[in-house]
Structure 1
Amino acid sequence: MGLDIVRLLELTGWRAFDVDDRGRVLAGSDETGSVQLVELSGEARTPLTELTGAVSGRYLPGERAVVVQHDTDGDERTQLSLLRLDEERTGPATLDDLEPVVRDPEHVHRLVGVLPGRIVYATNRRDDVDFDVVIRNLDTGEEAVVYDGGGMVLDVALSPGSRYVAVTIPAVRALSDQLVVVDTMPATASGRFSTLTERTEHARFTTPGWPDDEALIVTSNADRDRTGIARIDRRSGERTWLITAEEHDLTGWLSPDGTALLVHANDDGVSRLALHDATTGELRHRVRLPRDGWCGFPLPAPVWSPDSRHIALSFSAPDVPGDAIVVDAATGAARPVTDSTAQLADADLAVPEVRRAPSRDGQRIPCFVYSPTDPDPELAGSSVLVIHGGPESQSVRAFSPIVQALVGRGHHVLVPNVRGSTGYGKRWYSADDGRDRLESVADLADLHDWLAELGLDPDRAALWGGSYGGYMVLAGLAFQPERWAAGVDIVGISSLVTFLNNTARYRRAHREREYGTLATDADFLQRASPLSRATAIAAPLFALHGANDPRVPLSETEQITEAVRAKGVECELLVYDDEGHGLAKRANRLDAYPKALAFLTRHLAR
């Protein structure tokens, strides 16, 4: 039998943040209600933190210590602290037990690297907008700013001797990056920075790694539709492709010793992993995961141990809440160190069918279709479309308590990757940029037109989405009011104009690359905003938001719910004072999601 939403939300999931040379895993567990650090060593599980919000962290190489990254109630102004594991403690560490390292609650401090005795972090404390890269000596407290060239720093990698620092920052176009190399000991000040790519190039340059001081290995789709793995000469910028695939996006993570690559192939929302030689690109081993599932973003990225012998993975599948896995780099053998499926002995969770929905222009929209096995007769034929956020993101074949609860109640659930989604090449993820924004919204109409072919009732279809997915929910209700019976909006954008005006300062320029700028595109942004067509909304709306959301301010939800209520349309709004961009705390999810599901049951029943 299936599980109800309460039990699904109470399932414990695991993720892997780091692994040390002895194979010990620094994991995250949400058993206590928010993600806290736990060390996994053999059969032992040692809880490390007990903070009020979700945390992440990394081991400090060569020491029994963890660098802990934490914020306050989802405000995303992350702070950095040190937890020494060789000190006796009677239980998990609270905030008072942590040694402050970088504490300035007015700004963001994001951990981007760990070195023996040092950390590397990105911070916007200089002007609240641009991010600088800082190396801090943990013994002396001395800091060196190694990059202050502006932009929202994405990836950082230090060369083997730490002389060169590679930094990726957003370029002019959405999902395009510029790769900058900083020489920390230049002969002249003018020689400090060198750009290996152009700001105008429509290409990604991510996950940089240094096999030596002379070149970088990066994930890129320069002059390609799909991402592959390339070597870039530090001096000339010349690129040599090591590993490519015409049918899949690839991502590569270089081992610390510079000899091996873990390569991830994105196979329609399923992870395929392999180990390759970093010099030749030759295949060494395929990594066999427990089943078809996912171990990429938004889960923590795979991480190598300092000695390059182990790789820690975070893994999830539609019927796997989340586990930590350690890969032996010498053989490719994958060893789960947790088993979240042990909680599901009496459960029958749904696994999706992979489909392609026809669209108005002959394109095929990737979609995962979850079908109930024994639907309530009152809900038979109903459907809910669950749209991912981003928009530069992707729905994958991973566990979702919301999807499983909806299916368990008797709804068919469609999880599409509309235009703008990653994982299907550059052309697809660029198809909604700027003034093409409403092309992704039009995909919702195409999906609705497809419902009858699936044997579903077009009059009992609803939308569910968070963040950009929340924008899609509101846009579907506003631009296609005749099609949708209800909508659930979670921290969604109601006006692209007020969103860009009010989002955190460091995010505005970053988001304007995707949506268009207020200076040149305000007219279109206004037309593409659900708030501008709020009077057309006829379907009941359920909305929820975190009061501390720095990305999509609470005002976005408040203004659309006020407009819908003014029309006399049913509208429920839940606001959580201790949350940010989404619901990180189980207590709040247990309050919000059963109400949202009951709302849909009420409006989609026969």
Structure 2
Amino acid sequence: MNPGLLPLVVSLLAAQAPAPAPAAQAPKAQASASKPSQVPGIAPLPGQPNLWVSNVPTVPEALRQRMEQYLEARSAALLDTSDDGKQLLITTRFADTNQLHLVEMPMGARTQLTFAREPINRALFQPGDSNVIYFLQDKGGGEFFQVFRLDRRTGRSELLTDGKSRHSDVKVSQDGRWLAYGGTGRNGKDTDVYVAPTAQPRQARRLTELEGSWAPIAFSNDGAKLLVAQERAVDDADLYVVDVASGARQRITPQEGKGGITSVVFAHDGKSVYLATDRYSDFAELYRVDLDKAPLTAAPESLTKAVKWNVTDLALSPDGRKLAVAFNEDGFTKVSLLDTRTKALAPLDSLPKGVAFGISFPLKRSDLLALTVGDAKSPMDVWTVDLKSRKPTRWTRSEVGGLDTNTFVEPVLVRYPSTDGVQVPAFLYLPRGATGKVPVIVSFHGGPEGQSLPLFSTFAQFATTELGMAVLVPNVRGSEGYGKAYRAMDDGVKREQSLADIGATLDFIASRKELDASRVGVSGGSYGGYMTLASVAFYPERFKAAVDVVGISSLPSFLENTQAYRRDLRRAEYGDERDPAVRKVQERISPLGSVARIRAALYVQQGANDPRVPQSEAEQIVQAVRQRSPDVWYMLATDEGHGFQKKANRDSAQMTTMMFFEKHLGAPRSPEATGTK
């Protein structure tokens, strides 16, 4: 399914379901009073007791002052619209974490609705009553999300789920009667779909009770049917229609073969669905599937065959006449409108150029489209488009610490060759006005099936604008957005061949006269952290410094220790470590097995409550590299998970990262020093 969809779950009351097996317990935040790490010399950072560091120097005041404005940058993302489109529910940060806010007019005040210590990034209105909001929230970054209901009339939030198992994908039917979500409450491993009447939201029952990861996608207009997806991997998902009352399931996708699902919505009459899938093509194309002809036995007619890019998002107007279709064209979003009667596809050219997310229609407005839009020089903000006049209207303007965004760098889209005929697309940020050769930081995305997009990055803008360094952001083989064949090129043991793209990236840097191939750093988070460690382990002479954020140091130990609810999904991507032949390759390409080769300076950052890449992955590489090079920096946040979401933690992580790269890569060299003219 769409990478933006995260699995979630609800639990049942014992009176309404068979007694569940013990649920997986949410990781508990480490108490700062006890030592949370086995790394020698680690101690809490003065003034930040939940942030523990080892070998990390104090940030110089001059660097702190230079970065402070950049670190005040915030963004706004659309979560939902009221039925009439006059109220937008957004998430943005005005203190330490993202919280829910309401905006009631373009460029109007952002009225804060939640004031929690933990971030809130997913929420939606109850149709028919915008005073009721459902949202997901976890604790300490552990991703064991719970479902809450906020009553704006009282300002109080009520916990609807069990407080310990993992929940995801909250949906509410258009008639406001049904609440659906995913949850691991049955056994801690499988994600089931739950439904509950909104009048009694704690009275949930399991709609599916099957092995694997199941998620609710969308209700039919009458609330009688629910689209449900079973996801085995990013390239292997199946779609079903489930009767809400009886639980009877009808399969839509064929039994044979496989394909990914990026988006799906019911047609207006509820008798067919619009489905974006790459099952029948290299790219995700749009199809209309009649339910009376499901499950499919042959490929239906593609409605977007002329566009050779992925369909990433769909939104159907309430009158059923317009289908908004978002395409990912080389990392940029293009939105078109499909006339559902004539099947004509017309581009919506009035939107600002950039990357868009979360397109939606208000439930009672077929003339208004709402969405989030961002670009490389300014943070994400919320917009609407009047479909009669095609006029876009900006609803929020997020700040960048008072800095002039016109001084920021626009990346250039480049491509360079690698092995096996691969052409690697990448975004290159070059400092303005630089003379001579500049140091380079290579930044790898996570996933692995993620995609680096031209969105605002404090990291990239500070490195280029203030430090005079270039930033190169590649989408190596295995990345989303360039067809399923490209995405599959690193699956399983083929990951060994994908490491050649690191060498190709270095060769590209060496080919550019403005880039200094002798001063290259690398950074990345999650799978990008694996690529960072692999870079310095397998190309040891060509990197000077590396920052690994929640990265994988050993593929077998990662698969053995990641949370049970996601282990099989990851085995589908990385290969099954229980197979001796697969494990042999995994061990060969794991950075932990090649620590003796690492020569670059290393800085590792980790969240103690990370359910995806556990703390042990960070600490085993830190301690192994320190046997040869004691000056490895390490930062551990005891109140974070898979990445840092709290501003104070994130600020410390970013400032020390820039301090680290400035120390090891230095400043741009003059033309005289490099011998260039």
The question of a shared fold, defined as TM-score above 0.5 by the shorter chain, is answered with yes
SS across alignment from 2:535: helix
Deviations 1:269-322 (A, max 9, x none): 1111122123443135615222x21113xxxx2233222433321111111112
Alignment equivalent of 2:377, drawn from 296, 315, 319: 319
Task: For residue 108 of structure 1, report the CA deviation from its aligned partner.
Answer: 1.1
Which residue of structure 1 lines up, in the alignment, with residue 165 of structure 2? 107
Q: Does 1:418 align with 2:476?
A: yes
Task: For residue 346 of structure 1, report the CA deviation from its aligned partner.
Answer: 6.8
Task: For residue 330 of structure 1, report the CA deviation from its aligned partner.
Answer: 4.4
Which residue of structure 2 lines up, in the alignment, with residue 90 of structure 1? none
- Correspondences of 1:194-343 after superposition (within 5 Å): 194-198=250-254, 201-211=257-267, 212-237=269-294, 238=296, 239-255=300-316, 257=318, 258-284=320-346, 286-290=348-352, 292-296=353-357, 301-309=358-366, 310-340=368-398, 343=402
Task: For residue 185 of structure 1, report the CA deviation from its aligned partner.
Answer: 5.3
Deviations 1:37-63 (A, max 9, x none): 110001232111111111031111111
Task: For residue 344 of structure 1, report the CA deviation from its aligned partner.
Answer: 3.5
Task: For residue 162 of structure 1, report the CA deviation from its aligned partner.
Answer: 2.9
- Which aligned segments of 4 or more residues in structure 1 are displaced greater than 6 angstroms? none
Whole-Å Cα distance in 2 between the matches of residues 415 and 209 of structure 1? 33
- Correspondences of 1:362-373 after superposition (within 5 Å): 362-373=421-432
- Of all paired residues, the percent bearing the same amino acid is 32
**Contact persistence 2:417–2:504 (CA under 8 A):** yes
CA 1:240–1:183: 2 relative to 1, 3 Å: farther
**Contact persistence 1:17–1:303 (CA under 8 A):** no
CA 1:468–1:410: 2 relative to 1, 3 Å: same
**Contact persistence 1:227–1:244 (CA under 8 A):** no
Whole-Å Cα distance in 1 between the matches of residues 127 and 602 of structure 2? 50
Alignment equivalent of 1:34, drawn from 97, 101, 121: 97
Which residue of structure 1 lines up, in the alignment, with residue 112 of structure 2? 47
Whole-Å Cα distance in 2 between the matches of residues 149 and 331 of structure 1? 48
Whole-Å Cα distance in 1 between the matches of residues 614 and 365 of structure 2? 42
CA 1:432–1:163: 2 relative to 1, 3 Å: same
Q: Does 1:568 align with 2:624?
A: no
**Contact persistence 1:295–1:313 (CA under 8 A):** yes
Deviations 1:48-97 (A, max 9, x none): 1111111031111111211121111111111111212233xxxxx5xxx3
- Correspondences of 1:370-389 after superposition (within 5 Å): 370-375=429-434, 380-389=437-446
**Contact persistence 1:111–1:119 (CA under 8 A):** no
Alignment equivalent of 1:360, drawn from 419, 422, 428: 419
Deviations 1:378-411 (A, max 9, x none): xx42100111100111011110111111112111
Which residue of structure 1 lines up, in the alignment, with residue 124 of structure 2? 58
- Correspondences of 1:170-189 after superposition (within 5 Å): 170-171=231-232, 174-184=234-244
Alignment equivalent of 1:124, drawn from 178, 184, 191: 184
Whole-Å Cα distance in 1 between the matches of residues 245 and 150 of structure 2? 32
- Range with bigger deviation, 556-565 or 14-23: 14-23
Task: For residue 246 of structure 1, report the CA deviation from its aligned partner.
Answer: 4.3
Which residue of structure 2 lines up, in the alignment, with residue 491 of structure 1? 550
Alignment equivalent of 2:454, drawn from 392, 397, 400: 397
**Contact persistence 1:25–1:40 (CA under 8 A):** yes
**Contact persistence 1:15–1:323 (CA under 8 A):** yes
Whole-Å Cα distance in 1 between the matches of residues 343 and 218 of structure 2? 20
**Contact persistence 2:84–2:365 (CA under 8 A):** no
**Contact persistence 1:205–1:218 (CA under 8 A):** yes
**Contact persistence 1:181–1:195 (CA under 8 A):** yes
Q: Does 1:465 align with 2:530?
A: no
Alignment equivalent of 2:142, drawn from 75, 81, 87: 75
**Contact persistence 2:193–2:216 (CA under 8 A):** no
Q: Which amino acid aligns with 1:204?
A: G
CA 1:330–1:210: 2 relative to 1, 3 Å: farther
Alignment equivalent of 1:351, drawn from 410, 418, 424: 410
Deviations 1:226-269 (A, max 9, x none): 11111122233342322233432123413263332111111211
Whole-Å Cα distance in 1 between the matches of residues 389 and 182 of structure 2? 35
**Contact persistence 1:350–1:371 (CA under 8 A):** yes
Unaligned ranges ≥5, structure 2: 1-62, 668-677
Which residue of structure 1 lines up, in the alignment, with residue 660 of structure 2? 599
Whole-Å Cα distance in 1 between the matches of residues 144 and 128 of structure 2? 28
**Contact persistence 1:366–1:418 (CA under 8 A):** yes
Whole-Å Cα distance in 2 between the matches of residues 383 and 417 of structure 1? 16
**Contact persistence 2:439–2:666 (CA under 8 A):** yes
Q: Which amino acid aligns with 2:259?
A: A
Whole-Å Cα distance in 2 between the matches of residues 110 and 303 of structure 1? 20
Q: Which amino acid aligns with 1:218?
A: L
Which residue of structure 2 lines up, in the alignment, with residue 20 of structure 1? 82
> RCO higher in 1 or 2 (8 Å CA, sep ≥ 6)?
2
Alignment equivalent of 1:9, drawn from 71, 80, 96: 71
**Contact persistence 1:248–1:266 (CA under 8 A):** yes
**Contact persistence 1:302–1:311 (CA under 8 A):** yes
Whole-Å Cα distance in 1 between the matches of residues 445 and 183 of structure 2? 28
**Contact persistence 1:178–1:197 (CA under 8 A):** yes
Task: For residue 605 of structure 1, report the CA deviation from its aligned partner.
Answer: 1.8
Please, what TM-score do these two structures have when normalized by structure 1? 0.92
Task: For residue 352 of structure 1, report the CA deviation from its aligned partner.
Answer: 0.5
Task: For residue 144 of structure 1, report the CA deviation from its aligned partner.
Answer: 3.2
- Correspondences of 1:471-486 after superposition (within 5 Å): 471-486=530-545
Alignment equivalent of 2:223, drawn from 162, 185, 191: 162
**Contact persistence 2:334–2:347 (CA under 8 A):** no
Q: Which amino acid aligns with 2:653?
A: A
SS across alignment from 2:118: coil
SS across alignment from 1:445: helix
CA 1:589–1:434: 2 relative to 1, 3 Å: same
Alignment equivalent of 2:194, drawn from 123, 127, 134: 134
Whole-Å Cα distance in 1 between the matches of residues 127 and 244 of structure 2? 22
Alignment equivalent of 1:144, drawn from 205, 226, 238: 205
SS across alignment from 1:424: coil
> Paired residues, what number?
584
SS across alignment from 1:580: coil
Whole-Å Cα distance in 2 between the matches of residues 563 and 395 of structure 1? 30
**Contact persistence 1:260–1:276 (CA under 8 A):** yes
CA 1:31–1:438: 2 relative to 1, 3 Å: farther
Q: Which amino acid aligns with 2:82?
A: D
**Contact persistence 2:234–2:260 (CA under 8 A):** no
Deviations 1:406-455 (A, max 9, x none): 11211111011000111111111111111111233210110101112212
Whole-Å Cα distance in 1 between the matches of residues 498 and 449 of structure 2? 12
Whole-Å Cα distance in 1 between the matches of residues 286 and 143 of structure 2? 31
**Contact persistence 2:332–2:453 (CA under 8 A):** yes
Please, what TM-score do these two structures have when normalized by structure 2? 0.82
Which residue of structure 1 lines up, in the alignment, with residue 23 of structure 2? none
**Contact persistence 1:492–1:552 (CA under 8 A):** yes
- Range with bigger deviation, 230-239 or 427-436: 230-239
